[in-house]
Structure 1
Amino acid sequence: MTERQVNGTLKAGLEFGPILAFFVAYLWLKDRIFTISGVEYDGFIVVTAGFIPVFLLSMGLLWRLTGHLSRMQVVTALLIVVFGGLSVWFNDPRFFKMKPTIIYLLFGGLLGLGLLRGQSWLQYVMEGLMPLTREGWMILTRRLMAFFLGLALLNEVIWRTMTEEAWVYFKTFGLTAAIFLFFVLQGRLFRDHGLGTDDDGAGNDT
């Protein structure tokens, strides 16, 4: 199905708004304890419980407006429900903190599996957004696989060794900035392997 075009600001708001809302709510409630049905929940758990429906509502509106959700968005939503739900159910923030690790391991592992088969599954997902040569897709897939696996490791190190607040800052701003920077640094790859360019040196950018 072709994705319908919507206002860029609105689309960005639906994609990133829930994350920023989580961050603001966490800063507001992080030091509070809530007693619900005789059970004490700290601010992180309460904010996580609120984040799940807000995220799903945003994805539902995005799908309604564009008629399309990427596979990555669908998988992310599923993992948010599962791991966020586990954190709330067991009153244990560790499940939600592990979610980015699972997401990046899953995406990195899938890209690696495709590479073992001599395929770029990233091309299958994103070809309409970035027209590249086959060699360009293979290079980008290898790099993104390594990048995702690195983010998974970094998330584990941060949530296990640093404060909860540090992890929230990392989750809200660090991961987003890292992904943005990764694609900015691929400028040469996009230039050398974009369709319509001279492919004679396609194998030189490894």
Structure 2
Amino acid sequence: MSEQKTLSNQLVKMAIEIGPLALFFIANSRWGIFTATGVFMIAIVISVCCSYLIEKKIPILALVTAFVVLIFGGLTLVLNDALFIKIKPTIVNLLFAFALFSGLAFKKLFLKIIFQGAFNIKDAGWRILTYRWGSFFIFLAVLNEIVWRTVSTDMWVNFKVFAIMPITIIFSLFQLAVVNKYKK
């Protein structure tokens, strides 16, 4: 019963994380980028609220992402300019990279602080993961800039939904070797 509840909780968490992006994609394909942006903003707020109700806390990454979505989504809608929602992933990824690399510079391992309950690894492993994730976030920021500047809005939305998630999952899986190597 406990394993079934854990699986159920993981599926709910995944739905909370992926739900806003899926709704963004669906709304964009039916009504366009501006309606999709509004739907995304509402969905991200609901997602953060659901996270709080389930976990009794709001993960910092979700909070930062929601804040940036609301700012850039709001700018998109108020100024009627899709540029702002398109650069939102760039800004979020650069913020995460900056935070991780700043932490390294000041000898703070933010990934360890955030994920310590999930992984019990040595500080050397956390440093490697921090460097890799910081670099990965920069890669995603650059990739987003290239894509939104070179393809249509609909293609950019497809890229955001169907490319970024698999790229991130694949990158995450490659990090398991570090987790295994540096287990305590």
Q: TM-score, normalised by structure 2?
A: 0.92
Counterpart position of 2:27:
25
Within the candidate set 116, 119, 122, 1:127 is matched to 116
Identity in percent: 32
Q: Alignment partner of 2:44: what SS?
A: helix
Within the candidate set 38, 42, 52, 1:63 is matched to 52
Following TM superposition, the consecutive aligned residue runs of length 4 or more in structure 1 with deviations greater than 6 angstroms are none
Within the candidate set 21, 31, 38, 1:49 is matched to 38
Counterpart position of 1:143:
132
The answer to whether the 8 Å contact 1:6/1:66 transfers is no
Structure 1 residue 22, shift from structure 2 partner: 1.1
**Partners of 1:12 and 1:56 in 2: how far apart?**
16
Q: Alignment partner of 1:69: what SS?
A: coil
Structure 1 letter corresponding to 2:127: M
**Partners of 1:139 and 1:112 in 2: how far apart?**
11
Per-residue deviation, residues 65-112 of structure 1 (Å, max 9, x unmatched): 211221111000000000000000000000000000000000001111
Structure 1 residue 5, shift from structure 2 partner: 9.7
**Partners of 2:7 and 2:56 in 1: how far apart?**
9
Give yes or no for the alignment of 1:13 onto 2:15: yes
Q: TM-score, normalised by structure 1?
A: 0.82
Larger-gyration structure (1/2):
1
The answer to whether the 8 Å contact 2:23/2:39 transfers is no
Per-residue deviation, residues 120-141 of structure 1 (Å, max 9, x unmatched): 2211111111111010000111
The answer to whether the 8 Å contact 1:6/1:65 transfers is no
Question: 5+ residue gaps in structure 2?
Answer: 1-5
The answer to whether the 8 Å contact 2:27/2:35 transfers is no
Question: 5+ residue gaps in structure 1?
Answer: 30-42, 196-206
**Partners of 2:7 and 2:71 in 1: how far apart?**
30
**Partners of 1:178 and 1:13 in 2: how far apart?**
18
Greater fraction helix: 2
Counterpart position of 2:107:
118
Give yes or no for the alignment of 1:173 onto 2:175: no
**Partners of 1:78 and 1:5 in 2: how far apart?**
29
Structure 2 letter corresponding to 1:127: Q
**Partners of 1:83 and 1:71 in 2: how far apart?**
18
Structure 1 residue 50, shift from structure 2 partner: 2.1
Counterpart position of 1:201:
none
